[in-house]
Amino acid sequence: MIEFVVKDRRMRYYPDDDVITVRAVKSGKDTKEKIWIPIKFSSNGKGYMKCNLAVEGKYKNLYKKRLIYLAHNPKWNIFGGKMETPAVEGSEN
């Protein structure tokens, strides 16, 4: 399990089951009951899986592959950067 944050939303990625959960929120704050809700993804018609999730009070379309990338690369800006392939050691540009 990998825990990560998208702005004000706490999430968990379970790589073995390929499931992403989000912490339940009430009135803009995490619930005290520590409830984690599985995110339901749907196809956008082009083969990408997306969800519609409230982040900082506004609903955003978030793609599953970008959330998984963020889980593995927490310093990456999901809203402003393209995903980069890590450099291979020993290779020269």
Q: Spell out the residues 6+ positions from residue 48 whose beta carbon is closer than 8 angstroms to its own.
A: 63, 64, 65
* Domain housing 43: 2-72
pLDDT at residue 31, as a whole number: 81
3-state DSSP call for residue 72?
helix
Q: Does residue 59 belong to any structural domain of this protein?
A: yes
Q: Please provide the average confidence, as pLDDT, over all residues in the chain.
A: 87
Q: Does residue 15 belong to any structural domain of this protein?
A: yes
Residue 89 pLDDT greater than 60, yes or no: no
Residue 14 pLDDT greater than 90, yes or no: yes
pLDDT at residue 56, as a whole number: 86
Residue 91 Cα to chain centre, angstroms: 30
Q: Name the strand (E) or helix (H) holding 54.
A: strand 49-55
pLDDT at residue 62, as a whole number: 95
Q: Does residue 65 belong to any structural domain of this protein?
A: yes
Q: Kindly report the pTM of this predicted structure.
A: 0.82
pLDDT at residue 28, as a whole number: 74
| Diameter over CA atoms, the chain | 51
Q: Does residue 88 belong to any structural domain of this protein?
A: no
Token pair belonging to 33: 């009951």
pLDDT at residue 81, as a whole number: 65
Kindly report the CA angle at 67 between 39 and 20, in degrees rounded to 5?
30
Contact indicator for 24, 36 with CB cutoff of 8 Å: yes
Q: How many domains does the structure of the chain reveal?
A: 1
Q: Does residue 78 belong to any structural domain of this protein?
A: no
Q: Does residue 81 belong to any structural domain of this protein?
A: no
Q: Does residue 87 belong to any structural domain of this protein?
A: no
Q: What is the pLDDT of residues 41-68, one digit of tens each?
A: 999 889 999 999 988 889 999 999 999 9
Residue 85 pLDDT greater than 90, yes or no: no
Q: Does residue 41 belong to any structural domain of this protein?
A: yes
